[in-house]
Amino acid sequence: MNSMDIHEILKYLPHRYPFLLVDRVLSWEAGKNIVALKNVTINEPFFVGHFPGHPIMPAVLIIEAMAQVGGVLLLSMVENPKAKLVYFMAIDKAKFRKPVFPGDQVRFELEMIKLKMNTCKMGGKAFVGNDLVAEAELLSILVDRQDVLERRKDS
């Protein structure tokens, strides 16, 4: 079991403000599971329009944060995470049970369901305190960053 502060997370994920949605990794076991936190503040740019007078974190951003946590788990298994990217491929069985408000701290718990070559399926849950606020199964693929850059040049 390990932990990561934001400086370590930045070594794994390419996301930056305003789209980095993981603040701390509490623990992870390579290839098995991960627990991480997102501190939700009123300063998040999406609260300006979602919704004025009644700010709640958009459900799709809860799933995005969950996927980023899964990305940290997947990238923690490779020798050179800076040379790889994690692409989100599918969402299954997504359920949103309670809203997330400014001031909440969301705890993400993900488990590796299946890992085959460079594709993985993870089961994720999001909690505020002891309350389950969202859950989903996520399918992702690990790609070479250089291949992506070369394809972009060719198009």
pLDDT tens for each residue of 61-90: 999 999 999 999 999 999 999 999 999 999
Residue 29 phi, psi (nearest 5): -125, 115
43 touches 31 (CB < 8 A): no
Q: Note if 50 is an active site residue.
A: yes
Question: Omega of the bond prior to 18 within 30 degrees of 0, cis?
Answer: yes
Which is the catalytic residue, given 7, 15, 50, 54? Answer: 50
Q: Residue 122 has which token pair?
A: 């993870």
Cα atoms found within 13 Å of the Cα of residue 81, Cβ hemisphere only? 15
pLDDT digits (tens, 9 = 90+) for 99-112: 999 999 999 999 99
Domains along the chain with CATH numbers: 6-154 (3.10.129.10)
| pTM (two decimals) | 0.94
- For 119-126, the CB contacts below 8 A with 24+ separation are 119/89, 120/70, 120/74, 122/70, 122/73, 124/66, 124/69, 124/70, 126/62, 126/65, 126/66, 126/100
Q: Residue 40 has which token pair?
A: 């939700």
Q: Mean of the pLDDT values across residues 47-53?
A: 95
